[in-house]
Chain A
Amino acid sequence: MKKWYVVLIGFCVLLFLSGCWDQELLKNARLLSIAGFDKASENKLFSTYVFHDQPMSESQEPKDEIKSAIGRTPRETRDKVDRKLSNYFRAYKNRVVMIGEELAKKDIYPILDIFYRDPHSSLNAKIVVAQGKASDLLAMKKVGNTLISDEIPKLIDGSEEKTLVTAENIQSICPVLFDPGEDILLPYLTKKETDIECAQLAMFHNRIFTGVLNPNESTMFLLLKGSPGKIARMTREEIDSDNSSPITFDVEKAKHDMQVRVQPKGKIVVTLHADWKIGITEYAQNHLNEQKIVDRLNRKISEDMTRLARQTIKKMQEAQCDGFGIGRRIIAFHPQVWKKMKGNWAYHYKKVQFKADVKVKIIHSGVIN
């Protein structure tokens, strides 16, 4: 009896040792690094794929390979590129998805569907909007001495830490994309001659790109939303009649508080209050040891920041971008009100009254006064 078992088990082991159906050899894979999507004529899609090829030996440099194709859907363009590619197109190490401005002006979900559906896709890839065409940015191939497949992900990472753009990936935007009460904001890449800049935010309304926030507004939005990076720095002209000298400060601690109230008549009032502790990192006028000057600066910067906050919110309302998730609060805590507004939330959102104010306190000024 025992012998019989050994034979049977041995047979089974041999059966399964012969190979594996699901093996994926890295040497057979062409790893996608950046996927760029643009609008082509007649509802077609122009996809640009950047592959990062690791060298076989140490003496060789890593290389990027850029391929593009036109098709109706991302999957179709992917297959078309795969035809032109040695080995297999593999997207599980994808780091960035870049959407061209024109394409982002209609629903972006069809572009992302492939990433959500495929169990092998990397959901932690960054997603960004490119000014102009994504293919133009990717066609640069190199920025300075850095390959584009390396430059863009690191650029976005850096900007996230500097509180310039939102830290989003494909999965983190997904709940918001499906939520009627909140809108996404994505990093907006711009081409500056031979460089690429990542310091602005692209506003969306219901999966449609509607406008851009400038760098200061972007930082302001992130601070008001309560998701700052490691550093949040701004340079502002001190608006003063006597001396207008620029001042640079880091926001060290930012407290924020948002309250959404619905008044009896159905008017929505949002109070946004921010309390910042800042450190001066550059101010050529000096004299930051005098109480009077610091108090005046506190007041002036507070005024300036409040103005900036209001300007940011106004811009967002014009773009119908509910980045703060006002609608979400209404859904959660005022379901009756939401039932009435559900049909045209964009219209009601524009009429929301924001009361924003920022209070700033200087807590240090570097090693000199």
Chain B
Amino acid sequence: MQMVKKNSSITQGQLMFFILQAQIGVGILSLPHVLQLTAKGGAWISVLFAGLFLQLVIIIHWALCKLYPSDNIYSFLPKIVGKYLGNLLSLIYSGYFLFTAGMILVRLLEIIHKWMLQETPKWAVLILILVLSIYLVRENLRIITRFFVITSFIIVVMVILSLVGYMNVDFTYIFPITEAGWVNILKTIKDATPAMLGFEILLVFYPMVEGQSNGKLKAVSVANLLTTLFYTFEVFTSLIIFSPEELPLVPEPMLYMLKAFSFHIVDRIDLLFLALWFVITFTSLTAYLYAGIVGLGQLFHKGQHKKSLLYVPFIVFLISFIPDDTFTILYYERMISVAFRILIIGLPIFFLMIGYVRKKRREQTI
């Protein structure tokens, strides 16, 4: 068991911002487009349902972490399923985190290439972002979290920028709300969840948070609630700005709508939005990267996560450099979504059951 160092723990308020920043990320730009394809005018309801669904998953994760209050996923897995299988699963989990980080990078690069830097080669942008994120993840959790808290105001600025779009809206575009039918609206939850990932990082950082377990659940739930509301707002805004036939043609509605507005000083608000969005996405990227290397650190470097930074950047670079067309990216995303279903929803329920049984048995023997 790894002892929690006093100077790297975070408070529950910080946990809230950490999860919020990890959740809000790359998905937000294209979310309205993706959801509207199947849920039509009810897309914003799907987001609400997705938030509700993820809340259930959060409770499962929390209950699992509560069984082993001073262990993170990499140290309690060997206790639940045995040393070898546990370590193997730990490796898979840190692989999942790193792969997700790579996927965030892929989307980030794609958007930057499409909207901002068309001539700049991919590797240049990639190296710049990686250098930046390594600089941050070298540090301990407390320092990373402080950065996340400071940059959280950007979310508010993003909301304000989106309000610009309300100069030209038509509320009838969302009607009839149930055009796609409730079945499709519920089905769309599965398209909404990938954009809201990030809470599962709790599995890694639970023991490093100060205070009672109930407070921790509250912090994560608040983060999830804020994310859900923010996403619902952005999806709703896109739905009333773009007509139902137009939205399928626009993959990044949030940016596109801002492109049409210009003020006296700022001509391209979309680029401003993109720059802010970059920070928000960068925090998700770092959160996953950190979660991944903490695992590798515990498995191979006796808890010193910094050491894994000697090779992790190259892996992430390769993961994000290889896909060069939309279809490969889509294939990657499907893999992530399968991994999410198994590793984040399925297995934790299983672990929880085993862990619970073991705990009961332990209590009986005492």
Chain A interface (Cβ < 8 Å from any Cβ of B): 12, 16, 20-22, 119, 122-124, 169-172, 174-180, 182, 325, 328-329, 331-333, 335
Instruction: Determine which of A12, A16, A119, A328 lies in contact with B172 in the assembled complex, contact meaning CB atoms within 8 Å.
Output: A328
Known A21-B121, A123-B260, A124-B261: A179·B245 in contact at CB below 8 Å: yes
Please tell me if the beta carbons of B170 and A328 are within 8 angstroms of each other in the complex: yes
Please tell me if the beta carbons of A174 and B124 are within 8 angstroms of each other in the complex: no
Say whether chain A's binding surface is mostly helix, strand, loop, or mixed: helix
**B168 and chain A: residue at smallest CB distance:** A172
Q: Does B328 sit within 8 A of A, measured CB to CB?
A: no
Known A172-B260, A180-B245: A22·B172 in contact at CB below 8 Å: no
Please tell me if the beta carbons of B115 and A119 are within 8 angstroms of each other in the complex: yes
Q: Does B264 sit within 8 A of A, measured CB to CB?
A: no
Instruction: Determine which of B114, B241, B242, B267 lies in contact with A119 in the assembled complex, contact meaning CB atoms within 8 Å.
Output: B114
Closest chain B CB from A232 CB (angstroms)? 20
Please tell me if the beta carbons of A171 and B246 are within 8 angstroms of each other in the complex: no
Say whether chain B's binding surface is mostly helix, strand, loop, or mixed: loop
Binds A, one of B84-92, B173-181, B337-345, B356-364: B173-181
Q: B176, B241, B243, B262: which has the most chain A beta carbons within 10 Å?
A: B243
Q: Does B244 sit within 8 A of A, measured CB to CB?
A: yes
Please tell me if the beta carbons of A179 and B243 are within 8 angstroms of each other in the complex: yes
Known A332-B176, A333-B175: A179·B115 in contact at CB below 8 Å: no
**B125 and chain A: residue at smallest CB distance:** A21
Give Cα distance in the complex from A20 to B116, angstroms. Answer: 13
Give Cα distance in the complex from A335 to B262, angstroms. Answer: 36
Known A124-B260, A331-B175, A332-B175: A175·B243 in contact at CB below 8 Å: yes
Note all chain A residues with C-beta closer than 8 A to B8.
Answer: none
Q: How many residue pairs between the two chains, A and B, have CB atoms under 8 Å in the bound complex? A: 71
Note all chain B residues with C-beta closer than 8 A to A172.
Answer: 168, 260
Give Cα distance in the complex from A12 to B257, angstroms. Answer: 36
Note all chain B residues with C-beta closer than 8 A to A12.
Answer: 127, 131
Question: What 7 new A-B contacts, CB under 8 Å, besides A179-B173, A179-B244?
Answer: A124-B260, A175-B173, A175-B241, A176-B243, A178-B246, A178-B249, A179-B245
Please tell me if the beta carbons of A21 and B262 are within 8 angstroms of each other in the complex: no
Give Cα distance in the complex from A119 to B259, angstroms. Answer: 9
Note all chain B residues with C-beta closer than 8 A to A329.
Answer: 172
**A20 and chain B: residue at smallest CB distance:** B120
Q: Does B325 sit within 8 A of A, measured CB to CB?
A: no
Q: Does B117 sit within 8 A of A, measured CB to CB?
A: yes
**A121 and chain B: residue at smallest CB distance:** B259
Please tell me if the beta carbons of B175 and A175 are within 8 angstroms of each other in the complex: no
Closest chain A CB from B106 CB (angstroms)? 19
Instruction: Determine which of B118, B128, B246 lies in contact with A175 in the assembled complex, contact meaning CB atoms within 8 Å.
Output: B246
Q: 14 A-B Cβ contacts within 8 A?
A: A20-B120, A21-B119, A123-B259, A123-B260, A124-B261, A171-B259, A172-B260, A175-B241, A175-B246, A179-B243, A179-B244, A180-B245, A332-B172, A335-B176
Give Cα distance in the complex from A184 to B124, angstroms. Answer: 44
Known A119-B114, A124-B261, A329-B172: A22·B245 in contact at CB below 8 Å: no
Q: B226-253: contact bitstring with A at CB < 8 Å (1 yes, 0 no)?
A: 0000000000000001111110010000
Note all chain A residues with C-beta closer than 8 A to B173.
Answer: 175, 179, 332
**B246 and chain A: residue at smallest CB distance:** A178
Please tell me if the beta carbons of B179 and A178 are within 8 angstroms of each other in the complex: no
Instruction: Determine which of B120, B176, B260 lies in contact with A171 in the assembled complex, contact meaning CB atoms within 8 Å.
Output: B260
Note all chain A residues with C-beta closer than 8 A to B179.
Answer: 335
Please tell me if the beta carbons of A21 and B117 are within 8 angstroms of each other in the complex: yes
Give Cα distance in the complex from A329 to B170, angstroms. Answer: 11
**A174 and chain B: residue at smallest CB distance:** B246
Closest chain B CB from A227 CB (angstroms)? 10
Give Cα distance in the complex from A95 to B262, angstroms. Answer: 12
Closest chain A CB from B113 CB (angstroms)? 10
Instruction: Determine which of B124, B243, B257 lies in contact with A16 in the assembled complex, contact meaning CB atoms within 8 Å.
Output: B124
Known A21-B119, A179-B246: A169·B172 in contact at CB below 8 Å: no
Closest chain A CB from B281 CB (angstroms)? 18
**B261 and chain A: residue at smallest CB distance:** A124
